[in-house]
Amino acid sequence: MTAPLLRLDDLRASVSDGHGERKQVLHGVNLTVAAGEMHVLMGPNGSGKSSLAALLAGREGCEADGGAAQMDGEDILALAPEERAARGLFLAFQYPVEIAGLSLTVFLREIYNRRREREGEAALDPMSFMRVLREEMAALSMDPALTRRAVNAGFSGGEKKRLEVLQMALLRPRLALMDETDSGLDVDALRIVSDAINRHRDGGRGFLLITHYSRLLAGLDPAPDYIHIFDGGRIVRSGGADLARRLEEHGYGALSEVA
């Protein structure tokens, strides 16, 4: 029996508020994502969804207090963020970071070539990489002029989200955590992003999407395998695709009691 792609057991975690106080944000999360599956987390603001993503990606200040998180059977909590990325974990940030002075092209080439080298392929020279980049950007209807800017510098909300998807396309992660990648997108962009996710799906990859809206889910094909309602730092209910629709009709209040 092979270990699942991601397995969370009674995961508890707290964040530091920067003033020496800690606040518990995850209260026992249980979740298994097998290769090929797509899971969706929906839940009220402040329920801890981004904290879960941050913990899995390795953000400093967000620490496990108990339980376990394993990727392919390996404890990932002990790994540095870059080591998790090297194992195929990717987080599309809810709030992508602006990095003044760092050329977007240089940054993307760096992460792309690192991925290639990890996978035993030769790094691409700048010219060849530009061709790859132009193609991937065209698929996301991104303005090629963005490559001349610094990472996220002056990007609109939608441009930032597309850049996260572009990085996913370049890094080809085995496990993609996508934190509200659909928020702030116009209808066209929404379709572009769901198409990109569809292209990326195959039997070897897993997804954990965090979203507030069923709009994104409508464009996903095949449909997500599981919808989980997240509240108070844990999963309170799980179901199929119809759970998202019921949620939009009835709200979290009616569905949040632990089933």
Partner 1 sequence: MARITELLSLSESAPREAREMVLPSASLEGWRWSGLRRALPATPFAATDGSTGTVTAPKLSNVFSSMTETVLVDGHLAGDNNGGDVDGRRHINSDSDGDGNGRRHIKGDNNGGAVRRHINTVMDNNGGDVDGHRHVKGDSDGDGGGSRHINILRDDKSETFETVARNGEETPFPALARTLATHPLQITVKGEIKTPHSIRLVGTSANTAAHHSLNTELEKNASLHCVITSEAANNAARLVNSDCRFHLREGARLRLLILENEAAQCFRTSRIHFTLAANARAETFLITRGGAFQRLEIETDLADNGAEFHIGGAHALSPERQGEIALRVRHLAGDTLSRNRFRAAVGANATHNFQGRIEIIPGADNAAAEMESKSLLMDESAKSRSKPELEIFHDNVACSHGVAVSPADADVLFYLRSRGIPLADAERLTVSAFLRQIFPAEHNDEFTESAKSRVESFAGMVTETETVKGQSS
Ligand X SMILES: Nc1ncnc2c1ncn2[C@@H]1O[C@H](COP(=O)(O)OP(=O)(O)OP(=O)(O)O)[C@@H](O)[C@H]1O
User: Which of 100, 122, 145, 187 is in the footprint of partner 1 by CB under 8 A?
Assistant: 100
User: Which of 77, 124, 150, 223 is in the footprint of partner 1 by CB under 8 A?
Assistant: 150
- Cβ atoms of 56 and 121 within 8 Å: the answer is no
50 part of the interface to ligand X, by CB under 6 A: yes
116 part of the interface to partner 1, by CB under 8 A: no
CB 114, min distance to partner 1, A: 5
Distance CA 95, CA 52 (A): 15
Please, which residue, 50 or 194, has the CB nearer to Mg ion? 50
256 part of the interface to ligand X, by CB under 6 A: no
Q: Judged by CB under 8 A, which stretch of 27-35, 56-64, 182-190, 214-222 contacts partner 1?
A: 56-64
**At which residue do the structure tokens 């987080």 appear?**
91
**At which residue do the structure tokens 């179901």 appear?**
239
17 part of the interface to ligand X, by CB under 6 A: yes
Please, which residue, 15 or 40, has the CB nearer to ligand X? 15
Q: Could you give the string, one character per residue 25-44, with x where binding to ligand X holds by CB under 6 A and - elsewhere?
A: x-----------------x-
For 185, list phi and psi in degrees, rounded to 5.
-95, 140
Residue 22 region by backbone torsions, left for phi larger than 0, else alpha for psi between -120 and 50, else beta: beta
Tokens representing 9?
């057991």
First to last CA, the chain: 30
Best CA proximity match to 215, nearest among 189, 238, 177: 189
User: Which of 86, 138, 254, 258 is in the footprint of partner 1 by CB under 8 A?
Assistant: 86
Distance CA 82, CA 86 (A): 6
**Which of the choices partner 1, ligand X, Mg ion, none does residue 45 contact, using the CB cut-off of 5 to 8 A by kind?**
ligand X
Distance CA 210, CA 92 (A): 10
- Cβ atoms of 138 and 53 within 8 Å: the answer is no
* Contact positions vs partner 1 (CB under 8 A): 57-61, 80-82, 84-86, 90-91, 93, 96-97, 99-102, 107, 110-111, 114-115, 118, 150, 167, 171
* Contact positions vs ligand X (CB under 6 A): 15, 17, 23, 25, 43, 45-51, 94
